[in-house]
A and B are shown apart, each in its own frame.
Chain A
């Protein structure tokens, strides 16, 4: 009975395959990949521009008015941007330029030297990625810094004072006592939230006098005694009454918690100002100076950097755009539109709203302990070398400590071991 079917199966198989192939080729012919030509718009990959006031889109418009060169802003989710660029590099299809969080080893060697942008300017090259031959791989677009927000309404309601001038900055002990006082007087559920990030934890550690984690000449990482003290202090704050454990242990949303009005203070950073200005209406909030114990420091850095890619056929046009963008009057326009802390030293920026908040951040950066700059320099050096850590050992080990999986000494040792292992010595 089956023999008949077997005989015919070959013909049907061939027919089916032919039909499928025909259909596939038919649809593959649709949107063909085009060759990038110099007169096409410069593609500029970035993340979060629209959320931050659309500064780059605005500058792209101005640039087109002035020069006729079109810059196409492509806004991509922050977490996806590295993936996108990695894949584009592998497919030899990188955009003309991008604003990135860090240098990726995959396309590190495909960047154009930006020395012509930084030379003769007051751009903070200590935040730029420069390799040992002096090639400038990336230029920072803006500075972000860690800072403290308080729910002013709760503080006023509780009748508790907070520092308003650089002369009366509180210590962490005083700050915690004040926030607990506010909690007791107002019934706020939590005293404080802090983003689950080693970037924020760095500022906390610096303020306790920690040297953070630094390599010796052989690439073995070490730290000082203050790190342990700070981590123990941090763990004691995560008690589900002062700080909710959910934020660090299970990725709860600190931004949402603070916006609820039920949390007294939020340790986050300058990028929240624009969001809070629009999306908090039920209470008054204020940026205040961070506590010191006894060191005064924030953690600041190049949140994002511009790179120009090799191989797009539009390198010169892209470079010209970047040079134009960093001319002081153009950069000022960008900083004012997007609410950036400027990367050009001494540049006067007039913010249309929340000027006092931005001023406070600039003061915190200027008053920061040298450790912040030192660690930033190390981070950039590793980036230029092309070495990265797997995940974030400092954050991940701290989370384990907070969860009671290991004690503080093991935590510090694990961090040191992983950093020594994965990063090694500085050149």
Chain B
């Protein structure tokens, strides 16, 4: 009886899953087709000629190792700093009161009112004048502060009763230890969620690295991948293969943090 009632929803979910799987499967299988097969009619899911030529060309043409390292440095450093800074700031906003903190909170919230693209020219001027043009720090520093992360931590810390802090203070715990040893461990789920998102944002970031990085030795993966798109032609088979290669680290990361990512249902409406 129970299985019978669950049947329609199970079917719907399978259909939905198939719908999501379809473009991904097509993408993956297309990367194994030769260039002459990509557009030929009738379109087939499975390659008629299986080939890894696109992968070989992509691997030889691009210094993937260098790009992986650059992107990893940017994503990891930014993520670590974002989580630390967001946790501290969110904690301060939730647990301390002062007129300037309230004002500062409004300032932070105000940064979400402007699309990132709008402030890019001024951000660029600032980064350039700081001497960070064409450095990885130039893409790391402006990305550390995210209103989303701060807000996530603030909301979370607000739900933790003040009595917990008071008890700790009575036991003689200093403010810094209170934050590090008691509050931060409590906020671990938020930290993990923010870390996952931040990593993903930075990994896929395109427009800002494009503006800041000049030297190909410092290119991130996404900027390097774009160079396959020429003036009038796109080398599709190389682009497909290179995109598949660039996905691998994200897939590995997903496999490791699957449980945390799936429970991170606060994704909706977030802004990086």
Contact = CB atoms under 8 A, between A and B. Distances in A.
B96 A6 contact: yes
Interface in B150-202: 162, 166, 169, 175-176, 179
Interface in A251-267: 255-257, 259-262
A8 B169 CA distance: 12
A93 B134 CA distance: 9
B175 A27 contact: no
A275 B229 CA distance: 13
Given A23-B81, A27-B77, A13 B92 contact: yes
A50 B233 contact: no
Contact of B92 (A16, A33, A279): A16
A31 B69 CA distance: 13
Contact of A80 (B175, B176, B210): B210
Interface in B123-164: 124, 128, 131-137, 140-141, 144, 162
A87 B124 contact: yes
B231 A93 contact: no
Given A15-B176, A16-B88, A260-B40, A84 B232 contact: no
A8 B230 contact: no
Contacts of B140: 27
A268 B237 CA distance: 21
A363 B84 CA distance: 66
B133 A259 contact: no
A33 B41 contact: no
Q: Which interface residue of A16, A90, A93, A95 has the most chain B CB atoms within 10 A?
A: A16
Interface stretch (B13-21, B211-219, B253-261, B263-271): B211-219
Interface in B217-233: 218, 226-233
Given A12-B179, A80-B210, A303-B231, A30 B137 contact: yes
Contacts of B236: 279
B180 to A, nearest CB: 11
A32 B88 contact: no
B29 interface: no
B96 A101 contact: no
B211 A32 contact: no
Interface in A87-102: 87-88, 90-91, 93, 95, 101
B135 A30 contact: yes
Contacts of A37: none
Given A4-B169, A51-B228, A272-B233, A84 B210 contact: yes
B188 to A, nearest CB: 19
A257 B35 CA distance: 14
A305 to B, nearest CB: 13
A9 interface: yes
Nearest to A283: B40
A91 B128 contact: yes
Given A11-B175, A48-B230, A28 B36 contact: no
A238 interface: no
A75 interface: yes
B233 A33 contact: no
Interface in B75-117: 77, 81, 84-85, 88-89, 92, 95-98, 101
A27 B169 CA distance: 34
Interface residues of A, number: 67
A119 B266 CA distance: 66
A52 B230 CA distance: 9
A418 B255 CA distance: 55
B96 A259 contact: no
A79 B175 contact: no
Interface string A1-33: 110111011011101100110011001111111
A384 B61 CA distance: 35
B58 to A, nearest CB: 10
Interface string B58-77: 00010000000000010001
Given A27-B137, A88-B214, A12 B233 contact: no
B28 interface: no
A279 B38 contact: yes
A271 interface: yes
B208 to A, nearest CB: 11
Given A24-B141, A50-B61, A88-B214, A271 B92 contact: no
A5 B96 contact: yes
Nearest to A262: B41
A47 B40 contact: no
A308 B74 CA distance: 32
A93 B133 contact: yes
A72 B96 CA distance: 55
A282 interface: yes
A82 to B, nearest CB: 12
20 contacts: A1-B162, A8-B96, A8-B175, A9-B92, A9-B101, A12-B96, A12-B176, A16-B85, A33-B134, A47-B230, A51-B234, A75-B227, A76-B227, A83-B211, A87-B124, A87-B133, A90-B124, A95-B214, A259-B40, A279-B236
Interface of A: 1-2, 4-6, 8-9, 11-13, 15-16, 19-20, 23-24, 27-33, 43, 47-48, 50-52, 72, 74-80, 83-84, 87-88, 90-91, 93, 95, 101, 195, 255-257, 259-262, 268-269, 271-272, 274-275, 278-282, 303-304
Interface of B: 34-41, 61, 73, 77, 81, 84-85, 88-89, 92, 95-98, 101, 124, 128, 131-137, 140-141, 144, 162, 166, 169, 175-176, 179, 210-212, 214-216, 218, 226-237
Given A78-B229, A83-B211, 18 more contacts: A5-B95, A6-B96, A6-B98, A8-B96, A11-B175, A16-B92, A19-B84, A20-B85, A23-B84, A27-B136, A43-B215, A48-B230, A48-B233, A87-B212, A256-B39, A260-B39, A260-B40, A281-B36
Instruction: State the 10 A-B residue pairs at the shortest beta-carbon distance, nearest first.
Output: A48-B230, A281-B36, A259-B39, A279-B35, A9-B96, A28-B137, A77-B226, A78-B231, A91-B133, A51-B230
